[in-house]
Amino acid sequence: MTDALRGHLDAVLLATLDGRRLHGYGIIETVQARTKGALDLPTGTVYPALRRLENAGYLHSEWSTVSGRQRRTYQLTRAGLDALAAKRAAWREFTSTIGTVLEPVT
């Protein structure tokens, strides 16, 4: 995982699950596709984060059969949707603030 992603993994995972139910590898594939391969999340990072988010009440998981295989699928809870909204607002504020510093002074 790149240093730039540190501290933002939860937001990435929650946003990836927004409006959909996915299994862990499906989450990894979706992040790769959405970022055109720029983010390649290791399974050893994603699965512990998913368990942590579930323990925090942000995700609900259940076993399902996908392509004939048993997989745990995840979806956002109401608390997860609220956490995602807060993380999106914090991200917008952060990028706006940093943007004002990085722009050349005229």
Give the residue-averaged pLDDT of 59-87. Answer: 93
Give the residue-averaged pLDDT of 70-99. Answer: 95
Give the residue-averaged pLDDT of 48-76. Answer: 93
Give the residue-averaged pLDDT of 40-66. Answer: 93
Give the residue-averaged pLDDT of 47-73. Answer: 93
Q: Which two tokens stand for residue 8?
A: 């933002």
Distance CA 80, CA 13 (A): 10
Q: 49 near 10, Cβ under 8 Å?
A: yes
Give the residue-averaged pLDDT of 62-90. Answer: 93
Q: Which two tokens stand for residue 16?
A: 């990836």
pLDDT at 84 over 50: yes
Percent with pLDDT over 70 in the chain? 96
Q: What is the pTM of this model?
A: 0.88
Distance CA 2, CA 8 (A): 11
Q: Which two tokens stand for residue 33?
A: 């596709």
Task: For helices 43-55 and 24-34, give the axis angle rounded to 10 degrees.
Answer: 110
Phi, psi of 69 (to 5 degrees): -115, 145
Q: In this predicted model, which residue has the larger pLDDT, 4 or 48?
A: 48
Give the CATH number for residue 81.
1.10.10.10
Report the domain count for the chain: 1
Task: Residue 98: give the domain boundaries.
Answer: 3-102
Q: Which two tokens stand for residue 106?
A: 């005229």
Q: Which two tokens stand for residue 77?
A: 């809870």
pLDDT at 4 over 70: no
